[in-house]
Structure 1
Amino acid sequence: MRIRVVHETVYQYDSPARGLIQMLRLTPRDHDGQHVRAWRIEPTVDGRLSRREDGFGNVVHVFSADGLEEALTIRVTGEVETTETHGVMRGISEWLPDPFYLRESRFAVADEAIRAFADDAAAGGNDPLDRLHRLLAGVHGAVEYAPGPTGAATTAAEAFALRKGVGQDLAHVFIAAARHLEIPVRYVSGYYWRPDAAEQEAGHAWVEARVPDLGWVGFDPAHGIAVTEAHLRVAIGLDYLDAAPVRGSRTGGGTETMIVRVRVDDARATNREAADEEAGDRAPAAPAGRAQVQSQG
């Protein structure tokens, strides 16, 4: 499929900001099953935008600006072609050894409750892949997807205690549990196309786990599925801190308000709808006094 993304992050300040610097992990890379056709990052104020790569191989744009007025919008637009790989990740340059992803990280620490849950969820698994699928089903069933109760700084243990969270939280719970089971696993940020919800509150998050003789495999605990062609992979890390779409700091500006708007469409379906609308606009007008009637097959 072809996924079209429009992602706007709006910052509003109650007084002018003297300056800011932002680390933007908002640009996907090509790999098997994912080809970037077009991608743009457009800040609405003048500044400096430079591109680099971090230690995980993520594309990072550094944006800095001085003398901001009352608002800044970072607008991301692009189209990415995706194909089904059944969750298996190929064609990715690995910058770090697999054991690195066994490291405990700030948001994905397994407390006693998560350790007991992981042992129980994976029990009876015949092989590592089977254990991961059991863990996937366990996390999806144990933690309800519910925006609101958690925030960007919520840990795996806190989300698991609440038994509620969003994609980020379910990913952290899965990561903490998998590392307890001594399975290398990492956090993934990106986008997810949903046929029933083009307008979304934020991007999405899932995980990738290392499976012997198979490689890295993507799992989406929020939806209880292996990664599909509807997932658009952007950045990876040990947890959210390493793959956050936007992180930064500023001087001045008083109180800051952030508004996020994300739209994820099937570009081909959208293009077909636009073509149908255009064809409809060109339809001949009915003579005065007569109504056009739609034929039925």
Structure 2
Amino acid sequence: MLLNISHTTQYHYDEPVQYSLHQLRLTPKSNQNQRVVNWQTTITGGEKQLEFIDQHNNHVDLISFNAGESEISIHSWGEVETTDTHGIVGKHGGYAPLWHFKSTTELTQPGGELKKLIKTLGDRFEGDIERMHALSRLISERVSYKVGETHAATTVEEALKSEYGVCQDHAHIFSAAARMMGYPARYVSGYLLMDDRIDQDATHAWAEAYLPELGWVGFDVSNNICPDERYVRVATGLDYRDAAPISGVRYGSSGETMIVSLQVQQ
């Protein structure tokens, strides 16, 4: 499937920004699931300082905002050809070793709620893939998808206690649970072609677990499926902070308004 993607993020500040430095993880990766046909990013009100590949094999652009700007626009667009591999990404790559993906983070720190979830899951499974599918279903049943109940800094334990969350929370819970069960796991950010619309509300997120017989395998808890040809992988990491589309710092206390426009179409 050939997907056309257009992703624009606009920032408006109450007062001109004097200094800001941001990392962009907006360029998809080419692998056995997808081939980047073309891709480019432009910045209005700022400029690219450098680009590099990070420890998770993510393409990162480091950009600065022009001093005195009050409106900044970041536009990424291009075409990606995708293939349905039933969620299987395959062998491990990148600079970070597999054992690194068993690490916990502030957002995925396990606690009593996660331990109860794993205990509920049990251990009567014929293999790793069946166990991970069961884990995905259990999280979907336990934490209902609902916008507005959580935020970017919500932890696994907080989402489990509230019993509500979005794709970010589902990916965090799955990753944390898989790690507690002994599997390397990681967070994935990217794009999803919705069947009923071109304009999307936001980027998407899911998780991947490393299974000895298959390698990395994706699980989208929010939609209760493994990623297919409608998905485009962009960045991976231990949690949202490693794979966020845009992250950075700025000096000043002026108010910020952000508007995201995202279109994904075949």
TM-score under structure 1 length normalisation: 0.86
User: Structure 2 counterpart of 1:76, which letter?
Assistant: S
Measured in 2, the distance between the counterparts of 1:128 and 1:92 equals: 17
Residue 45 of structure 2: aligned partner: 45
Give, in angstroms, the shift of residue 94 of structure 1: 3.2
Does residue 63 (structure 1) correspond to residue 63 (structure 2)? The answer is yes
Is the 1:48–1:64 Cα contact (8 Å) retained in structure 2? Answer: yes
Residue 36 of structure 2: aligned partner: 36
Distance 1:49 1:40, change over 3 A: farther
Does residue 177 (structure 1) correspond to residue 184 (structure 2)? The answer is no
Q: CA deviation digits over 1:248-268, x for unaligned, max 9?
A: 1112361111122211111xx
Residue 257 of structure 2: aligned partner: 257
Give, in angstroms, the shift of residue 91 of structure 1: 6.7
Return 5+ residue gaps in structure 1 as ranges: 267-297
Q: Tell me the secondary structure at the aligned position of residue 87 of structure 2.
A: coil
Q: Which has the higher strand share?
A: 2
Distance 1:192 1:110, change over 3 A: same
Residue 244 of structure 1: aligned partner: 244
Is the 2:19–2:64 Cα contact (8 Å) retained in structure 1? Answer: yes
Is the 1:37–1:80 Cα contact (8 Å) retained in structure 2? Answer: yes
Measured in 1, the distance between the counterparts of 2:215 and 2:249 equals: 37
TM-score under structure 2 length normalisation: 0.96
How high is the sequence identity, in percent, across the aligned residues?
38
Return 5+ residue gaps in structure 2 as ranges: none
Is the 2:199–2:262 Cα contact (8 Å) retained in structure 1? Answer: yes
Runs of 4+ residues deviating >3 angstroms = none
Give, in angstroms, the shift of residue 228 of structure 1: 0.8
Is the 1:17–1:253 Cα contact (8 Å) retained in structure 2? Answer: no
Which of the two has higher C-alpha Rg? Answer: 1
Q: Tell me the secondary structure at the aligned position of residue 137 of structure 1.
A: helix
Residue 269 of structure 1: aligned partner: none
Q: CA deviation digits over 1:224-250, x for unaligned, max 9?
A: 111111110001100001001100111
Residue 195 of structure 2: aligned partner: 195
Measured in 2, the distance between the counterparts of 1:203 and 1:102 equals: 25
Q: Tell me the secondary structure at the aligned position of residue 179 of structure 1.
A: helix
Measured in 2, the distance between the counterparts of 1:48 and 1:198 equals: 29
User: Structure 1 counterpart of 2:124, which letter?
Assistant: G
Give, in angstroms, the shift of residue 48 of structure 1: 3.0
Query: How many equivalent residue pairs?
Result: 266
Is the 2:33–2:82 Cα contact (8 Å) retained in structure 1? Answer: yes
Q: Tell me the secondary structure at the aligned position of residue 67 of structure 2.
A: strand
Distance 1:91 1:246, change over 3 A: same
Give, in angstroms, the shift of residue 92 of structure 1: 6.0
User: Structure 2 counterpart of 1:124, which letter?
Assistant: R
